[in-house]
Structure 1
Amino acid sequence: MKPYRSISNAIRFVVTFALLAWGGATAATGLGVTPIRIHLSEATPTAALTLENNGSNTTVVQLQLMKWDAAGADDHYRPTYEIVATPPIATLQPGQTQIVRVGLSRDVDAGKELAYRLYIEEVPAPPQQHQQGLQVTLRIGVPIFIAPKITAQPGLEWRAVRNGPDSVVLHATNVGNAHLRLMGLKLRSEGADRLLAERQVVGYLLAGQSRQWLMQLKGGLPSGRLRLSAATDPGVADVDLELETP
Protein backbone atom coordinates (compact mmCIF):
# COMPACT_ATOMS: atom_id res chain seq x y z
CA MET A 1 0.00 0.00 0.00
CA LYS A 2 1.40 3.42 -0.91
CA PRO A 3 2.31 5.90 1.86
CA TYR A 4 0.13 8.94 2.47
CA ARG A 5 2.75 11.63 1.95
CA SER A 6 0.44 14.35 3.26
CA ILE A 7 0.59 13.03 6.85
CA SER A 8 4.22 13.75 7.69
CA ASN A 9 5.84 10.47 6.68
CA ALA A 10 3.24 8.36 8.52
CA ILE A 11 2.13 5.25 6.68
CA ARG A 12 -1.49 4.26 7.13
CA PHE A 13 -2.51 0.63 6.75
CA VAL A 14 -6.06 -0.69 6.64
CA VAL A 15 -6.22 -4.13 8.22
CA THR A 16 -9.28 -6.25 7.47
CA PHE A 17 -10.17 -9.04 9.89
CA ALA A 18 -12.39 -11.82 8.52
CA LEU A 19 -13.86 -13.00 11.78
CA LEU A 20 -14.07 -16.74 11.39
CA ALA A 21 -13.72 -17.98 14.94
CA TRP A 22 -16.12 -18.56 17.76
CA GLY A 23 -16.60 -16.03 20.55
CA GLY A 24 -15.68 -12.36 20.63
CA ALA A 25 -12.74 -10.64 19.00
CA THR A 26 -10.41 -7.94 20.24
CA ALA A 27 -8.13 -6.06 17.86
CA ALA A 28 -4.59 -4.99 18.65
CA THR A 29 -5.88 -1.42 18.98
CA GLY A 30 -8.27 -2.50 21.76
CA LEU A 31 -11.62 -2.57 19.95
CA GLY A 32 -13.70 -5.56 21.06
CA VAL A 33 -16.64 -6.87 19.03
CA THR A 34 -19.22 -9.38 20.32
CA PRO A 35 -20.65 -11.51 18.78
CA ILE A 36 -18.56 -12.07 15.68
CA ARG A 37 -21.43 -13.64 13.72
CA ILE A 38 -25.11 -12.68 13.60
CA HIS A 39 -28.09 -14.86 12.68
CA LEU A 40 -31.45 -13.28 11.83
CA SER A 41 -34.74 -14.86 10.76
CA GLU A 42 -38.40 -14.09 10.25
CA ALA A 43 -38.98 -14.86 13.93
CA THR A 44 -35.86 -12.95 15.09
CA PRO A 45 -35.48 -9.93 12.77
CA THR A 46 -33.18 -7.90 15.05
CA ALA A 47 -29.96 -8.46 17.02
CA ALA A 48 -27.54 -6.49 19.18
CA LEU A 49 -23.80 -6.12 18.62
CA THR A 50 -21.53 -4.80 21.38
CA LEU A 51 -18.48 -2.65 20.65
CA GLU A 52 -16.02 -2.07 23.49
CA ASN A 53 -13.00 0.23 23.56
CA ASN A 54 -10.39 -1.67 25.57
CA GLY A 55 -7.62 0.70 24.55
CA SER A 56 -6.28 3.87 26.12
CA ASN A 57 -7.33 6.28 23.36
CA THR A 58 -10.69 7.55 22.13
CA THR A 59 -11.88 5.53 19.12
CA VAL A 60 -14.31 6.65 16.40
CA VAL A 61 -15.88 3.88 14.32
CA GLN A 62 -18.20 3.94 11.32
CA LEU A 63 -20.41 1.12 10.02
CA GLN A 64 -20.99 -0.10 6.48
CA LEU A 65 -23.39 -2.86 5.39
CA MET A 66 -22.66 -5.02 2.34
CA LYS A 67 -24.63 -7.73 0.55
CA TRP A 68 -22.49 -10.89 0.28
CA ASP A 69 -22.90 -13.12 -2.78
CA ALA A 70 -20.77 -15.87 -4.28
CA ALA A 71 -20.01 -16.84 -7.86
CA GLY A 72 -17.88 -19.96 -8.12
CA ALA A 73 -14.97 -19.50 -5.70
CA ASP A 74 -15.27 -15.71 -5.61
CA ASP A 75 -16.99 -13.58 -2.97
CA HIS A 76 -18.76 -10.42 -4.12
CA TYR A 77 -19.81 -7.48 -1.96
CA ARG A 78 -22.02 -4.49 -2.74
CA PRO A 79 -23.66 -1.81 -0.59
CA THR A 80 -27.15 -2.70 0.60
CA TYR A 81 -30.17 -1.26 2.38
CA GLU A 82 -31.71 -4.69 2.99
CA ILE A 83 -30.47 -4.58 6.58
CA VAL A 84 -29.81 -1.60 8.83
CA ALA A 85 -27.41 -0.92 11.70
CA THR A 86 -27.65 1.97 14.16
CA PRO A 87 -25.89 4.10 15.13
CA PRO A 88 -23.92 4.32 11.83
CA ILE A 89 -21.04 6.11 13.58
CA ALA A 90 -19.96 6.10 17.22
CA THR A 91 -17.29 7.61 19.44
CA LEU A 92 -16.03 5.36 22.23
CA GLN A 93 -13.99 6.68 25.13
CA PRO A 94 -11.51 4.29 26.80
CA GLY A 95 -13.48 1.60 28.64
CA GLN A 96 -16.78 2.61 27.00
CA THR A 97 -19.17 0.20 25.26
CA GLN A 98 -21.64 0.89 22.46
CA ILE A 99 -24.63 -1.27 21.52
CA VAL A 100 -25.29 -1.49 17.76
CA ARG A 101 -28.79 -2.57 16.72
CA VAL A 102 -28.94 -4.67 13.55
CA GLY A 103 -32.24 -5.41 11.83
CA LEU A 104 -33.92 -6.60 8.66
CA SER A 105 -35.50 -4.08 6.27
CA ARG A 106 -36.68 -6.70 3.76
CA ASP A 107 -38.58 -9.99 3.82
CA VAL A 108 -36.61 -13.19 4.30
CA ASP A 109 -36.09 -15.35 1.21
CA ALA A 110 -38.50 -18.22 0.68
CA GLY A 111 -35.94 -20.95 0.14
CA LYS A 112 -32.34 -19.73 0.46
CA GLU A 113 -30.25 -18.19 3.22
CA LEU A 114 -29.09 -14.61 2.56
CA ALA A 115 -25.63 -13.39 3.57
CA TYR A 116 -24.26 -9.94 4.44
CA ARG A 117 -21.30 -8.38 6.20
CA LEU A 118 -21.31 -5.52 8.65
CA TYR A 119 -17.99 -3.69 8.40
CA ILE A 120 -16.83 -1.79 11.49
CA GLU A 121 -14.02 0.58 10.55
CA GLU A 122 -11.98 2.88 12.73
CA VAL A 123 -11.82 6.48 11.59
CA PRO A 124 -8.11 7.41 11.78
CA ALA A 125 -7.24 10.23 14.13
CA PRO A 126 -5.52 13.29 12.61
CA PRO A 127 -1.75 12.68 12.58
CA GLN A 128 0.35 14.53 15.09
CA GLN A 129 2.93 17.00 13.86
CA HIS A 130 6.18 15.29 12.86
CA GLN A 131 4.54 11.88 13.36
CA GLN A 132 6.70 8.96 12.30
CA GLY A 133 6.01 5.25 11.87
CA LEU A 134 2.79 3.34 11.31
CA GLN A 135 -0.78 4.49 11.76
CA VAL A 136 -3.04 1.43 11.65
CA THR A 137 -6.79 1.55 11.13
CA LEU A 138 -8.91 -1.48 11.88
CA ARG A 139 -11.69 -2.87 9.69
CA ILE A 140 -13.71 -5.81 10.98
CA GLY A 141 -16.22 -7.71 8.84
CA VAL A 142 -18.97 -9.40 10.88
CA PRO A 143 -20.97 -12.00 8.89
CA ILE A 144 -24.77 -11.73 9.04
CA PHE A 145 -26.91 -14.66 7.89
CA ILE A 146 -30.66 -14.46 7.25
CA ALA A 147 -32.47 -17.80 7.52
CA PRO A 148 -35.04 -18.63 4.80
CA LYS A 149 -38.63 -19.54 5.50
CA ILE A 150 -37.90 -23.23 5.03
CA THR A 151 -35.31 -25.25 6.96
CA ALA A 152 -31.75 -24.05 6.27
CA GLN A 153 -29.25 -26.85 5.70
CA PRO A 154 -25.82 -26.85 4.02
CA GLY A 155 -24.72 -29.83 1.93
CA LEU A 156 -21.22 -30.41 0.58
CA GLU A 157 -20.36 -32.47 -2.48
CA TRP A 158 -16.67 -33.40 -2.84
CA ARG A 159 -14.41 -34.49 -5.70
CA ALA A 160 -10.73 -35.46 -5.71
CA VAL A 161 -8.88 -34.94 -9.01
CA ARG A 162 -5.38 -36.22 -9.72
CA ASN A 163 -2.85 -33.41 -10.24
CA GLY A 164 0.48 -34.96 -11.15
CA PRO A 165 2.33 -37.76 -9.32
CA ASP A 166 2.07 -36.37 -5.76
CA SER A 167 -0.84 -33.96 -5.50
CA VAL A 168 -4.64 -33.88 -5.60
CA VAL A 169 -7.08 -31.04 -6.16
CA LEU A 170 -10.06 -31.20 -3.81
CA HIS A 171 -13.28 -29.65 -5.11
CA ALA A 172 -16.17 -28.75 -2.79
CA THR A 173 -19.62 -27.46 -3.78
CA ASN A 174 -22.25 -26.40 -1.29
CA VAL A 175 -25.47 -27.77 -2.80
CA GLY A 176 -27.54 -26.86 0.26
CA ASN A 177 -29.45 -23.65 0.97
CA ALA A 178 -27.30 -22.35 3.86
CA HIS A 179 -23.64 -21.54 4.54
CA LEU A 180 -21.03 -23.85 6.00
CA ARG A 181 -17.77 -22.89 7.67
CA LEU A 182 -14.71 -25.04 6.92
CA MET A 183 -11.75 -25.18 9.28
CA GLY A 184 -9.47 -27.97 8.08
CA LEU A 185 -8.96 -30.83 5.65
CA LYS A 186 -7.18 -34.17 6.05
CA LEU A 187 -6.62 -36.80 3.38
CA ARG A 188 -5.85 -40.40 4.26
CA SER A 189 -5.43 -43.56 2.26
CA GLU A 190 -8.31 -46.00 1.99
CA GLY A 191 -8.93 -47.54 5.37
CA ALA A 192 -7.72 -44.31 7.02
CA ASP A 193 -4.39 -45.94 7.91
CA ARG A 194 -1.98 -43.32 6.50
CA LEU A 195 -2.15 -39.52 6.63
CA LEU A 196 -1.41 -38.18 3.16
CA ALA A 197 -2.02 -34.45 3.55
CA GLU A 198 -3.64 -31.89 5.80
CA ARG A 199 -4.46 -28.21 5.41
CA GLN A 200 -6.06 -25.39 7.38
CA VAL A 201 -8.79 -23.80 5.23
CA VAL A 202 -10.67 -21.40 7.52
CA GLY A 203 -13.48 -19.87 5.46
CA TYR A 204 -17.12 -19.96 4.45
CA LEU A 205 -18.93 -21.74 1.65
CA LEU A 206 -22.19 -19.95 0.91
CA ALA A 207 -25.17 -21.76 -0.59
CA GLY A 208 -24.28 -22.68 -4.18
CA GLN A 209 -20.61 -21.73 -3.80
CA SER A 210 -17.66 -23.87 -4.93
CA ARG A 211 -14.02 -23.85 -3.87
CA GLN A 212 -10.95 -25.96 -4.53
CA TRP A 213 -7.65 -26.66 -2.75
CA LEU A 214 -4.38 -28.20 -3.91
CA MET A 215 -3.24 -30.95 -1.54
CA GLN A 216 0.40 -32.05 -1.68
CA LEU A 217 0.60 -35.72 -0.73
CA LYS A 218 3.27 -37.37 1.38
CA GLY A 219 4.65 -40.44 -0.35
CA GLY A 220 2.79 -40.06 -3.63
CA LEU A 221 -0.65 -41.17 -4.72
CA PRO A 222 -2.02 -44.30 -3.06
CA SER A 223 -3.91 -47.04 -4.80
CA GLY A 224 -7.62 -47.20 -4.14
CA ARG A 225 -9.90 -44.54 -2.78
CA LEU A 226 -9.13 -41.59 -0.50
CA ARG A 227 -10.68 -40.82 2.88
CA LEU A 228 -11.36 -37.10 3.41
CA SER A 229 -11.97 -35.68 6.89
CA ALA A 230 -13.40 -32.16 6.72
CA ALA A 231 -13.64 -30.13 9.93
CA THR A 232 -16.73 -27.90 9.86
CA ASP A 233 -18.88 -25.98 12.32
CA PRO A 234 -21.21 -28.95 12.91
CA GLY A 235 -18.26 -31.31 13.37
CA VAL A 236 -15.91 -33.54 11.37
CA ALA A 237 -17.38 -35.17 8.26
CA ASP A 238 -15.67 -38.22 6.73
CA VAL A 239 -16.11 -38.89 3.01
CA ASP A 240 -14.67 -41.63 0.80
CA LEU A 241 -13.62 -40.31 -2.61
CA GLU A 242 -12.72 -41.95 -5.89
CA LEU A 243 -9.57 -40.42 -7.36
CA GLU A 244 -10.55 -38.88 -10.71
CA THR A 245 -8.32 -38.29 -13.72
CA PRO A 246 -8.54 -34.79 -15.22
Structure 2
Amino acid sequence: MKTLARIGCLASLLVGAAALVAPPSWADATYQLSPSTLTLEPSGSRSTGSFQVRSTGSKPVAVEIRVTERQMDLQGTETRPDAEDDFVIYPPQILLQPGQVQTVRVTWLGEPNPEHELPYRLIAEQLPIAIDEPEVAVTTAVVRINALYNFVASLYITPRGSSPNIVLESASHQTINGQDALVLQFNNQGTAHKVMTGLHLTLTSPGGQTITLSPEQLRGVSGENMLAQHQRQFTLPWPDGFPVGPVSATIDLR
Protein backbone atom coordinates (compact mmCIF):
# COMPACT_ATOMS: atom_id res chain seq x y z
CA MET A 1 0.00 0.00 0.00
CA LYS A 2 2.86 2.38 0.81
CA THR A 3 4.41 1.80 -2.62
CA LEU A 4 1.09 2.50 -4.33
CA ALA A 5 0.74 5.68 -2.31
CA ARG A 6 4.21 6.77 -3.37
CA ILE A 7 3.46 6.08 -7.01
CA GLY A 8 0.23 8.01 -6.68
CA CYS A 9 2.12 10.96 -5.24
CA LEU A 10 4.53 11.00 -8.18
CA ALA A 11 1.65 10.64 -10.62
CA SER A 12 -0.09 13.62 -9.03
CA LEU A 13 3.02 15.74 -9.44
CA LEU A 14 3.24 14.93 -13.12
CA VAL A 15 -0.48 15.25 -13.87
CA GLY A 16 -0.44 18.67 -12.25
CA ALA A 17 2.51 19.69 -14.40
CA ALA A 18 0.90 18.45 -17.62
CA ALA A 19 -1.15 21.61 -18.00
CA LEU A 20 2.04 23.69 -18.06
CA VAL A 21 4.54 21.61 -20.04
CA ALA A 22 4.52 19.20 -22.94
CA PRO A 23 3.99 15.59 -21.83
CA PRO A 24 7.33 13.79 -21.35
CA SER A 25 8.46 10.67 -23.16
CA TRP A 26 10.03 8.15 -20.74
CA ALA A 27 11.60 5.82 -23.29
CA ASP A 28 15.05 7.42 -22.99
CA ALA A 29 14.92 8.48 -19.32
CA THR A 30 18.08 7.35 -17.51
CA TYR A 31 19.78 7.96 -14.16
CA GLN A 32 22.71 6.84 -12.02
CA LEU A 33 23.11 5.94 -8.34
CA SER A 34 26.34 6.47 -6.41
CA PRO A 35 28.26 5.31 -4.47
CA SER A 36 27.89 1.57 -5.04
CA THR A 37 28.79 0.85 -1.39
CA LEU A 38 28.11 2.83 1.78
CA THR A 39 29.20 1.92 5.31
CA LEU A 40 27.48 3.43 8.35
CA GLU A 41 28.07 3.01 12.07
CA PRO A 42 25.17 1.87 14.28
CA SER A 43 25.26 4.98 16.48
CA GLY A 44 26.61 8.50 16.57
CA SER A 45 27.14 10.98 13.75
CA ARG A 46 28.27 8.27 11.35
CA SER A 47 24.91 6.51 11.52
CA THR A 48 23.78 8.85 8.72
CA GLY A 49 25.17 8.86 5.19
CA SER A 50 24.06 9.76 1.70
CA PHE A 51 23.67 8.54 -1.85
CA GLN A 52 23.34 10.65 -4.98
CA VAL A 53 20.84 10.06 -7.76
CA ARG A 54 21.81 11.79 -10.99
CA SER A 55 19.68 12.23 -14.08
CA THR A 56 21.68 11.42 -17.22
CA GLY A 57 18.82 11.52 -19.71
CA SER A 58 17.02 14.26 -21.60
CA LYS A 59 13.63 13.69 -19.97
CA PRO A 60 12.33 13.76 -16.38
CA VAL A 61 12.68 10.57 -14.37
CA ALA A 62 10.85 9.42 -11.22
CA VAL A 63 12.79 7.24 -8.76
CA GLU A 64 11.81 5.47 -5.55
CA ILE A 65 14.44 4.57 -2.92
CA ARG A 66 14.03 1.65 -0.52
CA VAL A 67 16.19 -0.54 1.71
CA THR A 68 16.06 -4.31 2.19
CA GLU A 69 17.87 -6.83 4.32
CA ARG A 70 20.53 -8.88 2.56
CA GLN A 71 20.35 -12.56 3.40
CA MET A 72 22.51 -15.08 1.52
CA ASP A 73 22.38 -18.89 1.42
CA LEU A 74 25.21 -21.38 0.87
CA GLN A 75 25.03 -20.98 -2.91
CA GLY A 76 25.11 -17.18 -2.73
CA THR A 77 21.45 -16.65 -3.57
CA GLU A 78 20.15 -13.45 -1.97
CA THR A 79 16.78 -12.88 -0.37
CA ARG A 80 15.77 -9.32 0.42
CA PRO A 81 13.09 -8.85 3.09
CA ASP A 82 11.84 -5.30 3.53
CA ALA A 83 13.80 -3.24 6.06
CA GLU A 84 12.06 0.12 5.98
CA ASP A 85 11.56 0.14 9.77
CA ASP A 86 15.35 0.11 10.27
CA PHE A 87 16.05 3.30 8.31
CA VAL A 88 14.86 6.78 7.51
CA ILE A 89 15.25 7.51 3.79
CA TYR A 90 14.84 11.14 2.71
CA PRO A 91 13.53 11.82 0.23
CA PRO A 92 12.09 8.35 -0.54
CA GLN A 93 10.71 9.46 -3.91
CA ILE A 94 12.36 11.78 -6.40
CA LEU A 95 11.27 13.52 -9.59
CA LEU A 96 14.50 14.47 -11.38
CA GLN A 97 14.66 16.97 -14.20
CA PRO A 98 17.32 16.46 -16.92
CA GLY A 99 20.80 16.94 -15.46
CA GLN A 100 19.52 17.29 -11.89
CA VAL A 101 21.33 15.65 -8.95
CA GLN A 102 19.47 14.73 -5.76
CA THR A 103 21.15 13.75 -2.50
CA VAL A 104 19.33 11.00 -0.58
CA ARG A 105 20.07 10.80 3.14
CA VAL A 106 20.04 7.42 4.87
CA THR A 107 19.82 7.20 8.67
CA TRP A 108 20.07 3.99 10.71
CA LEU A 109 17.31 3.50 13.31
CA GLY A 110 18.01 -0.11 14.27
CA GLU A 111 20.06 -1.83 16.96
CA PRO A 112 22.69 0.62 18.33
CA ASN A 113 25.05 -2.16 19.46
CA PRO A 114 24.90 -5.09 17.02
CA GLU A 115 27.29 -7.97 17.65
CA HIS A 116 28.50 -7.95 14.04
CA GLU A 117 28.14 -6.04 10.80
CA LEU A 118 24.63 -6.01 9.30
CA PRO A 119 24.33 -6.13 5.49
CA TYR A 120 21.57 -4.38 3.55
CA ARG A 121 20.72 -3.39 0.00
CA LEU A 122 19.68 0.09 -1.07
CA ILE A 123 17.58 -0.12 -4.22
CA ALA A 124 16.76 2.74 -6.57
CA GLU A 125 13.81 1.85 -8.78
CA GLN A 126 12.73 3.93 -11.72
CA LEU A 127 9.00 4.54 -11.86
CA PRO A 128 8.30 5.87 -15.35
CA ILE A 129 4.97 7.64 -15.17
CA ALA A 130 4.00 8.53 -18.73
CA ILE A 131 1.47 11.29 -19.26
CA ASP A 132 -0.09 11.24 -22.71
CA GLU A 133 -2.18 13.95 -24.25
CA PRO A 134 -5.65 12.49 -24.93
CA GLU A 135 -6.88 12.28 -28.50
CA VAL A 136 -9.99 14.24 -27.60
CA ALA A 137 -10.51 16.99 -25.07
CA VAL A 138 -11.12 15.50 -21.63
CA THR A 139 -10.73 16.81 -18.10
CA THR A 140 -8.20 14.21 -16.93
CA ALA A 141 -4.84 12.99 -18.21
CA VAL A 142 -4.03 9.37 -18.99
CA VAL A 143 -1.34 7.94 -16.70
CA ARG A 144 0.64 4.74 -17.37
CA ILE A 145 2.95 3.31 -14.69
CA ASN A 146 5.72 0.79 -15.41
CA ALA A 147 8.80 -0.06 -13.34
CA LEU A 148 11.99 0.00 -15.42
CA TYR A 149 15.61 0.43 -14.31
CA ASN A 150 16.83 -0.71 -10.91
CA PHE A 151 20.18 0.11 -9.30
CA VAL A 152 21.27 -1.93 -6.27
CA ALA A 153 23.92 -0.67 -3.85
CA SER A 154 25.53 -2.32 -0.83
CA LEU A 155 24.78 -0.79 2.57
CA TYR A 156 26.56 -1.98 5.71
CA ILE A 157 25.97 -1.14 9.37
CA THR A 158 29.41 -1.78 10.81
CA PRO A 159 30.30 -1.52 14.52
CA ARG A 160 33.71 -0.05 15.28
CA GLY A 161 36.43 -2.67 15.56
CA SER A 162 34.69 -5.14 13.24
CA SER A 163 36.92 -7.37 11.13
CA PRO A 164 36.51 -10.45 8.90
CA ASN A 165 37.84 -13.92 9.64
CA ILE A 166 37.58 -16.19 6.61
CA VAL A 167 37.99 -19.90 7.34
CA LEU A 168 38.06 -22.73 4.80
CA GLU A 169 36.01 -25.32 6.67
CA SER A 170 36.30 -28.15 4.18
CA ALA A 171 37.57 -29.21 0.76
CA SER A 172 36.34 -32.47 -0.68
CA HIS A 173 35.99 -34.52 -3.83
CA GLN A 174 32.52 -35.21 -5.17
CA THR A 175 31.22 -36.76 -8.36
CA ILE A 176 28.55 -34.52 -9.85
CA ASN A 177 26.77 -35.56 -13.04
CA GLY A 178 29.57 -38.02 -13.70
CA GLN A 179 32.30 -35.36 -13.40
CA ASP A 180 34.94 -35.02 -10.68
CA ALA A 181 34.40 -31.84 -8.70
CA LEU A 182 36.12 -29.95 -5.90
CA VAL A 183 33.66 -28.70 -3.27
CA LEU A 184 34.82 -25.91 -0.97
CA GLN A 185 33.00 -24.59 2.08
CA PHE A 186 33.96 -21.24 3.59
CA ASN A 187 32.84 -19.61 6.82
CA ASN A 188 33.26 -15.96 7.72
CA GLN A 189 33.51 -16.27 11.48
CA GLY A 190 34.38 -12.59 11.83
CA THR A 191 32.28 -9.50 12.42
CA ALA A 192 32.66 -7.78 9.02
CA HIS A 193 32.27 -8.80 5.39
CA LYS A 194 35.23 -9.64 3.16
CA VAL A 195 35.51 -9.69 -0.62
CA MET A 196 37.85 -12.59 -1.38
CA THR A 197 40.06 -10.86 -3.92
CA GLY A 198 43.51 -12.33 -4.52
CA LEU A 199 42.46 -15.76 -3.26
CA HIS A 200 45.01 -18.57 -3.63
CA LEU A 201 44.14 -22.17 -2.76
CA THR A 202 46.74 -24.86 -2.05
CA LEU A 203 45.63 -28.50 -2.27
CA THR A 204 47.56 -31.44 -0.84
CA SER A 205 46.89 -35.09 -1.64
CA PRO A 206 47.41 -37.93 0.89
CA GLY A 207 50.57 -38.81 -1.06
CA GLY A 208 52.03 -35.34 -0.54
CA GLN A 209 51.44 -33.91 -4.02
CA THR A 210 50.52 -30.22 -3.93
CA ILE A 211 49.04 -27.69 -6.31
CA THR A 212 48.30 -24.00 -5.79
CA LEU A 213 45.39 -22.49 -7.70
CA SER A 214 45.55 -18.80 -8.63
CA PRO A 215 42.64 -16.33 -8.62
CA GLU A 216 42.26 -16.89 -12.37
CA GLN A 217 41.82 -20.62 -11.72
CA LEU A 218 39.37 -19.89 -8.92
CA ARG A 219 36.87 -17.88 -10.94
CA GLY A 220 33.52 -18.01 -9.23
CA VAL A 221 35.24 -18.12 -5.82
CA SER A 222 37.94 -15.43 -5.87
CA GLY A 223 36.26 -12.04 -5.65
CA GLU A 224 33.12 -13.34 -3.97
CA ASN A 225 31.69 -11.47 -0.99
CA MET A 226 31.67 -13.33 2.32
CA LEU A 227 29.18 -11.63 4.64
CA ALA A 228 29.85 -11.66 8.37
CA GLN A 229 28.63 -14.82 10.11
CA HIS A 230 27.74 -16.43 6.77
CA GLN A 231 28.84 -19.65 5.10
CA ARG A 232 29.32 -20.20 1.36
CA GLN A 233 29.82 -23.35 -0.69
CA PHE A 234 31.50 -23.41 -4.11
CA THR A 235 31.89 -26.20 -6.65
CA LEU A 236 34.79 -26.22 -9.14
CA PRO A 237 36.05 -28.69 -11.73
CA TRP A 238 38.68 -31.02 -10.27
CA PRO A 239 42.17 -29.66 -11.11
CA ASP A 240 43.76 -31.31 -14.13
CA GLY A 241 46.57 -33.70 -13.25
CA PHE A 242 45.86 -33.70 -9.53
CA PRO A 243 45.14 -37.09 -7.89
CA VAL A 244 41.41 -37.63 -7.51
CA GLY A 245 40.28 -38.42 -3.99
CA PRO A 246 40.65 -37.09 -0.44
CA VAL A 247 42.36 -33.73 -0.19
CA SER A 248 43.42 -31.15 2.36
CA ALA A 249 43.49 -27.45 1.57
CA THR A 250 44.68 -24.07 2.80
CA ILE A 251 43.86 -20.57 1.57
CA ASP A 252 45.81 -17.34 1.26
CA LEU A 253 44.11 -13.98 0.69
CA ARG A 254 46.74 -11.67 -0.78
TM over 0.5, yes or no?
yes
1:215 to 203, 227, 236: 236
- Amino acid of the structure 2 residue aligned with 1:45: S
**Alpha carbons 2:200, 2:213 under 8 Å: kept:** no
Supply the RMSD in Å over aligned alpha carbons. 3.1
Which residue in the other structure is 2:35 paired with? 35
Q: CA deviation at 1:188?
A: 5.2
Give CA-to-partner distance per residue, 1:110-133, whole Å, 9 cap, x none.
Answer: 42111221110000343979xxxx
Cα distance in 2, alignment partners of residues 193 and 45 from structure 1:
42
SS at 1:51's partner residue?
strand
Residue ranges of structure 1 left out of the alignment (5+ in a row): 1-27, 130-134, 230-235, 238-246
Distance 1:119 1:194, change over 3 A: closer
Change (3 A) 1:127 1:197: farther
SS in 1 for 2:65: strand
* Structure 2 gap ranges (5+): 1-27, 134-145, 205-209
Match of 1:179 among 193, 218, 221: 193
Aligned equivalent of 1:143, options 154, 161, 171 = 154
Matched pairs, number: 198
Counterpart amino acid of residue 171 in structure 2:
A
> After alignment, is 161-170 or 56-65 more displaced?
161-170
Conserved? CA contact 1:197–1:216, under 8 Å: no
CA contact (8 A) 1:68 1:77 kept: yes
2:163 aligns with one of 132, 137, 153: 153
Give the equivalent residue in structure 2 for 1:69: 71
CA distances 1:6-64 after superposition (whole Å, capped 9, x unpaired):
xxxxxxxxxxxxxxxxxxxxxx9642221111111124111111111112222110011
| CA drift at 1:183 | 4.7
Q: Distance in 2 between matches of 1:213 and 1:116?
A: 23
Q: 1:91 to 1:197 in 2, by over 3 A?
A: same
Q: Which has the larger radius of gyration?
A: 2
Does residue 163 of the first structure (1) align with residue 177 of the second (2)?
A: no
Q: Is the 8 A contact 1:166 1:219 kept in 2?
A: no
Equivalent position of 2:96 in the other structure: 92
Alignment of 1:1-246 (within 5 A): 30-41=30-41, 42-43=43-44, 44-70=46-72, 72-73=74-75, 74-80=77-83, 81-126=85-130, 137-148=148-159, 151-158=161-168, 159-164=170-175, 166-183=180-197, 187=201, 197-201=217-221, 202-222=223-243, 225-226=248-249, 228-229=251-252, 236-237=253-254
Native 8 Å contact 1:184 1:198 kept in 2: no
TM-score, normalised with respect to structure 2: 0.66
Letter in 1 for 2:242: L
Q: Among all aligned residue pairs of Structure 1 and Structure 2, give the percentage whose two residues are the same amino acid.
A: 24
Distance 2:80 2:234 in 1: 23
Checking the alignment, whether the CA contact within 8 Å between 1:166 and 1:220 is kept in structure 2 is no
For 2:8, the equivalent position in structure 1 comes to none
SS, match of residue 102 in structure 2: strand
Contact 1:38 1:144 survives alignment (8 Å): yes
Amino acid at match of 1:93: Q
- Structure 2 vs 1, CA of residues 38 and 118 (structure 1 numbering), >3 Å: closer, same or farther? same
Contact 2:30 2:61 in 1 (8 A): no
Q: In terms of mean alpha carbon deviation, does 36-45 or 65-74 score higher?
A: 65-74
